[in-house]
């Protein structure tokens, strides 16, 4: 989506687009396609808005869950919600797993930093695909969680700015 509201395709052949994040210097675009089971990094050219040089930096095997929403912290690490695993994982820019935050629900959908100092990680979850027994076992599924992640997030990038 261009600042003039025109639309230009950048990638094709996608399945379930669930997240975008930019590196601190704006030169790398991180992309989550849940159906492709991983996180890809692209070189990003701010002048023409194009992505090049796709490389897989994190592979998440189907038995581990599916990568879902993504955000980036002020240290350049990626935070990724893992649908089906009940976690949010923090990855270094090279794809190395730094930490994992476990939640008491299985279907973790996304995460974003908030709060006055951007030092709170808000995590969304779902309950729609759970059986009645799973809902009883996970009474807080579908809830919003907040954790103190020990790092800060970044302010939102202004559209067209």
Do residues 76 and 109 make contact, with C-beta atoms less than 8 angstroms apart? no
Task: Respond yes or no: is residue 68 known to be catalytic.
Answer: yes
Structural contact between residues 42 and 29, judged by C-beta atoms closer than 8 angstroms: yes
CB 39 within 8 A of CB 32: yes
Cβ neighbours around 143 below 10 Å, total: 15
Cβ neighbours around 38 below 10 Å, total: 18
Which of 68, 73, 94, 129 is an active site residue?
68
Which residues are the active-site residues?
68
């Amino acid at each position: 989506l261009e600042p003039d509201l025109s639309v230009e395709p950048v990638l094709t052949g996608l399945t379930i687009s669930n997240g975008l994040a930019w590196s601190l210097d704006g030169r790398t675009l991180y992309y989550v396609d849940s159906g492709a089971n991983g996180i890809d990094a692209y070189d990003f050219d701010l002048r023409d808005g194009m992505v090049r040089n796709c490389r897989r930096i994190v592979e998440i095997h189907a038995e581990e869950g599916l990568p879902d929403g993504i955000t980036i912290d002020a240290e350049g690490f990626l935070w990724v919600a893992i649908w089906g695993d009940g976690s949010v994982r923090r990855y270094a820019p090279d794809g190395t797993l730094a930490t994992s935050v476990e939640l008491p629900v299985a279907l973790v959908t996304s995460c974003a930093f908030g709060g006055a100092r951007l030092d709170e990680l808000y995590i969304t979850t779902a309950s729609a695909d759970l059986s009645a027994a799973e809902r009883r076992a996970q009474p807080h599924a579908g809830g919003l969680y907040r954790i103190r992640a020990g790092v800060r997030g970044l302010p939102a990038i202004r559209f067209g700015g």
